[in-house]
């Protein structure tokens, strides 16, 4: 992100969010304690043995083309709605736990980076996720997150306030996890610690 021109304070905010989400190339865990379990994971487990085959495992231990084929089937069968018979379908994947259509895009990016091979290395997965994050925030559907942050902090993009706001804003407007303002506050404060390391 630094190489692509993002401000260091914003990068610290992104890293704070990545730290609180999944890991590069890791499939969303289905080890939920909620009752009922999320419908999409129930669907995925019933139809694709998700719990035993994918839950919490890593893309670099799986056939990337097979995963892409599963997502293509879900996308096509649901007429691009990611819902089948009233149930959401899909799963999160990667260091920011992408939503279903974005997981599909991400796996396509994995294949672009690895040359359409079945296998992918951790370095290739990192590259793919970095490129997707940078694209979404620089030119894609989430461009306003970065643009608005720059406008709101134009007085000093290197201040502790700007750093905190980056972590908070990325959480609230890009990641959108459960936990609302509490999660955003945690990530804003973590961003300040990360920024101090970046600027050493």
Q: What is the mean pLDDT of the chain?
A: 94
pTM of the model: 0.87
Report the distance separating Cα 186 and Cα 200, nearest Å: 22
Predicted pLDDT at 99: 87
Are 154 and 81 in a shared domain?
no
Are 51 and 118 in a shared domain?
yes
Distances (CA, A) of 118 to 31, 102, 111, 151, 158: 27, 20, 8, 43, 42
Interval 81-108: pLDDT, tens: 999 999 999 999 998 888 899 999 999 9
Q: Looking at the domain assignment, is residue 1 inside a domain?
A: no
Are 59 and 88 in a shared domain?
yes
Count of CB atoms situated within 10 Å of the CB of 91: 27
Q: Looking at the domain assignment, is residue 60 inside a domain?
A: yes
Structure tokens at 168: 């908070």
* Domain C-terminal end among 113, 133, 153: 133
Between helix 8-19 and helix 180-198 the angle, nearest 10°, is 120
Interval 153-169: pLDDT, tens: 999 999 999 999 999 99
What is the total count of domains within the chain?
2
Are 44 and 129 in a shared domain?
yes
Report the distance separating Cα 154 and Cα 88, nearest Å: 40
Q: Looking at the domain assignment, is residue 30 inside a domain?
A: no
List % helix, strand, coil for the chain (3-state, nearest 5): 60, 5, 35
Interval 17-41: pLDDT, tens: 999 987 999 999 887 766 678 899 8
- Residue 121's pLDDT band (cuts 50, 70, 90): very high
Interval 51-69: pLDDT, tens: 999 999 999 999 999 999 9
- DSSP conformational letter for 141: T
Are 145 and 119 in a shared domain?
no
Within its chain, how far is the Cα of 72 from the centroid? 19
Are 142 and 112 in a shared domain?
no
Range of the domain at 149: 8-22+137-198
* Domain C-terminal end among 115, 133, 151: 133
Are 145 and 72 in a shared domain?
no
Share of the chain above pLDDT 70, in %: 98
Longest Cα pair distance anywhere in the chain, in angstroms?
Answer: 53
Distances (CA, A) of 77 to 51, 72, 82: 21, 8, 8
């Amino acid at each position: 992100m630094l190489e692509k021109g993002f401000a260091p304070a914003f990068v610290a905010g992104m890293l704070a969010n990545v730290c609180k989400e999944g890991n590069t190339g890791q499939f969303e865990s289905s080890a939920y304690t909620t009752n009922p379990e999320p419908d999409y994971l129930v669907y995925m487990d019933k139809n694709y043995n998700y719990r035993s085959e994918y839950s919490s495992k890593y893309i670099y231990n799986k056939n990337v083309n097979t995963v892409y084929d599963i997502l293509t089937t879900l996308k096509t069968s649901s007429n691009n709605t990611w819902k089948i018979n009233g149930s959401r379908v899909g799963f999160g994947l990667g260091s920011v736990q992408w939503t279903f259509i974005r997981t599909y895009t991400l796996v396509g990016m994995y294949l672009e980076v690895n040359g359409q091979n079945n296998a992918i290395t951790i370095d290739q997965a990192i590259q793919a996720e970095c490129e997707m994050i940078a694209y979404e925030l620089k030119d894609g559907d989430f461009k306003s997150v970065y643009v608005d942050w720059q406008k709101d902090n134009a007085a000093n993009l290197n201040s502790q306030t700007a750093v905190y706001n980056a972590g908070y804003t990325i959480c609230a407007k890009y990641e959108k996890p459960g936990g609302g303002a509490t999660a955003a506050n945690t990530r804003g404060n973590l961003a300040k610690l990360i920024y101090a390391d970046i600027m050493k």
